[in-house]
Amino acid sequence: MSNAPKRLGGDWPLDEVVAGLRAARHDWREHHRPHEPRGRELPSTEILDGIVQGLRGVLFPLRLGPPSLRPEAEDYYIGHTLDTQLQALRQQVLLELTSASGAHPADPDAWARADQVTGDFARELPTIRRLLDADVLAAFQGDPAARSVDEVLLCYPGIAAMIHHRLAHKLYELGVPLLARIVAELAHSRTGIDIHPGATIGPGLFIDHGTGVVIGETAVIGERVRIYQAVTLGARSFPTDEQGQIRKGAPRHPVVEDDVVIYAGATILGRITLGKGSVIGGNVWLTRSVEPGSHVSQANSQSQVPGLV
């Protein structure tokens, strides 16, 4: 009687599948990646997730840091955690820079650039903290259900998304867009709020409920703006070059001025401007600019009325 363990599965055509995958990789690399790197030399989603979690604690140590942390140990914890996470971030920055340029990871110039990017990012953290304070306060003041700023910080998906976005936007500005996009998508997967790291957002943004909110790469949002669930700040069309390829980075998303409120389900498309203090009603489809102080509802969004230009 055989002592071999009983197989629980069937007989799979492993050799055939492995060969098919090898052929698919070969075809892709022939057309899109003729100079395949020496191994996996791209940033790691898992490592970046850990870095962001550590930075959340650095920004809000007594709320998002370790539960045992006491006020007298805040600076020690922040210094130790920040050094650890910045060391890890520098390595991820280096991976993006070298994978984009084809430089060797040991290249001194690549290391110097990674040091510069990481240092510049670190110096912006106090500013990021102040921006997030304004976001938290806006949510607390704008939601009658909020009982404290601590509840907002700990529980609101809009704040979680904004923590990620403020960090991701700075990485985007510093020239590491892949790292920025990974950080943004970590928030998207957890909150249902999709903010491209290129979007420029002023202080005091309140994303209420949040599920289904989409904010595109070239959107510009002013101060004290309130956005409800399922709002889209999207592109109406995509400019192309002579070969019909989409041009990257062209301004194509809305500009939202200060103190604008956009209610649930509104879709705002194209490089249009929502004037200061405007109110955009629920489920409105809008592709035209509106003057400051406008009130746009489903009834008037499709017709020429005062305030629509």
Residue 260 has pLDDT above 70, yes or no: yes
What integer pLDDT is reported at residue 69 of this predicted model?
Answer: 96
What integer pLDDT is reported at residue 100 of this predicted model?
Answer: 82
Among residues of the chain, what percentage have pLDDT more than 70? 91
pLDDT digits (tens, 9 = 90+) for 147-180: 999 999 999 999 999 999 999 999 999 999 999 9
Residue 306 has pLDDT above 50, yes or no: no
What integer pLDDT is reported at residue 301 of this predicted model?
Answer: 64
Least confident of 30-34, 70-74, 259-263: 30-34
Residue 145 has pLDDT above 50, yes or no: yes
Q: pLDDT confidence of 304, banded at 50, 70, 90?
A: very low
What integer pLDDT is reported at residue 258 of this predicted model?
Answer: 98
Q: Yes or no: say if 95 and 42 are a contact pair by the CB < 8 Å rule.
A: yes
Mean pLDDT over each residue of the chain, to the nearest integer: 91
Q: pLDDT confidence of 41, banded at 50, 70, 90?
A: confident
What integer pLDDT is reported at residue 249 of this predicted model?
Answer: 80
Contacts of 138 (CB under 8 A, 6+ apart): 204, 205, 206, 224, 226
Contacts of 237 (CB under 8 A, 6+ apart): 252, 270
Residue 191 has pLDDT above 50, yes or no: yes
What integer pLDDT is reported at residue 57 of this predicted model?
Answer: 97
- Which among 181, 141, 140, 188 has a CA at the least distance from the CA of 162? 188
Give Cα 15 to chain centroid, integer Å. Answer: 40
What integer pLDDT is reported at residue 305 of this predicted model?
Answer: 44
Range 34-57 average pLDDT: 84
Give the residue, 279 or 37, on which the prediction is more confident. 279
Q: pLDDT confidence of 39, banded at 50, 70, 90?
A: low
What integer pLDDT is reported at residue 104 of this predicted model?
Answer: 74
pLDDT digits (tens, 9 = 90+) for 59-116: 999 999 999 999 999 999 999 999 999 999 999 999 999 988 777 777 889 999 999 9
**pTM, two decimal places:** 0.88
How large is the angle between the packed helices 108-123 and 74-101, nearest 10 degrees?
140
Give the residue, 7 or 112, on which the prediction is more confident. 112
Rounded Cα distance between 157 and 199, Å, is: 18
What integer pLDDT is reported at residue 215 of this predicted model?
Answer: 98
Residue 302 has pLDDT above 80, yes or no: no
Range 200-208 average pLDDT: 98
- Which among 44, 47, 39 has a CA at the least distance from the CA of 104? 39
Give the residue, 299 or 227, on which the prediction is more confident. 227
Longest dimension (CA), the chain: 90
Range 283-287 average pLDDT: 97
Give the residue, 49 or 104, on which the prediction is more confident. 49
What integer pLDDT is reported at residue 8 of this predicted model?
Answer: 53
